[in-house]
Copies of this chain bind each other. A is one copy, B any other.
Amino acid sequence: MVKITDVARRAGVSPSTVSYVLSGKRSISAATQRRVEASIRELGYRPHAGARALASSRSNVLALVMPLRSGIHVPVQMQFAGAVATTARRHDHDVLLLTQEEGEDGLRRVADSALVDALIVMDVQLRDARVPLLRTLPLPSVLIGFPAEADGLTCIDLDFTATGESCVGHLAQLGHRCVALLGSPPEVYARGTGFAQRTAAGFTAAARRGGMTSTVLPCEPTRAAARETVERLLHDHPDLTGVVVHNEPALPLLMEAFQQAGMRIPQDLSVVAVCPDELAENTAVPVTSVAIPAAEVGERAVGLLMDKLNGRSVPDATLLPPRLTPRASTAPRGSG
């Protein structure tokens, strides 16, 4: 293994000088800098991560806590993780993957052992057991999603309230008066998952403001559940003309169920979804949708964390505005 002393000897300087070239924490003459860099390159030197962490009490690793719970859409999570990983690298950090298998102890473990410098916590619940723990840990963290009590924590997410509102707004503009939200499986609501509840809240509030009739129904992502949900919905609300679907895997199933129930899309029923564009573009009828900007959330989350690590102050809450893309699944009421 080539170490800093080897680099130093070859460049004719002391190890500390090499270190300063690497970190830029003291000024170094251009000539020395060049020699040291050449030496590093020629020897293929890489600082030993452990030694560095020990001496500097900075590991340059951040933990990504992915619960991998049921009922959440995996591709979105993955897109997010990918963005976190590549953005972290851009800031010279690596990413340690933590699943919820370990629970809160896992967080404490990596924090106490100084394995990581900071935490990114995904899939935050409204009453999340990890949140009080995060408050006590000496490490900076960023949450994806908002717990009920978010004060003092740095959180970021798509603005799901505005998302719900924006979907309703779109339908309202097209003249729809009776709308429904078909959401995540019941377990997701039961867990108190913020994004599900916020979408529902925004949806309901906007519908009420617009004087529209509205319902919210959870839905399992199975063919049978989709059919049953649709039947119940149409039975209870015969004048329904618009739905918002916030449940990726169920979206195609629900659309099919509506069509089999005799509702043509968009002639009889307008559909808006909260889902990735890729999915929205590949359903039987391309779906008007609001995408979750997973990549942007991931990037910004890392950015926030870096700011905190570097002592810069950051906003407590970052809400990304929804962007609705109209497609073929929505049309003015009565256009059939």
Contacts and interface: CB of A to CB of B under 8 A. Distances in A.
Interface in A261-284: 281-284
B50 A54 contact: yes
A101 B85 contact: yes
Interface residues of A, number: 50
Interface string A225-256: 00000000000000000000000010011001
A120 to B, nearest CB: 12
A294 to B, nearest CB: 12
Contacts of A252: 252
A109 B53 CA distance: 16
Contact of A114 (B48, B54, B113, B256): B48
B96 A61 contact: yes
Q: How many monomers of this chain does the complex have?
A: 2
A287 interface: no
Interface stretch (A76-84, A150-158, A177-185, A201-209): A76-84
Interface string A26-37: 000000000000
B64 A53 contact: no
Contact of A113 (B46, B68, B77, B223): B46
15 contacts: A1-B114, A46-B112, A46-B113, A49-B59, A49-B114, A61-B115, A74-B75, A82-B99, A85-B98, A85-B101, A86-B99, A94-B115, A95-B96, A95-B97, A252-B252
Given A48-B54, A222-B281, 5 more contacts: A46-B112, A50-B52, A61-B96, A68-B78, A97-B97
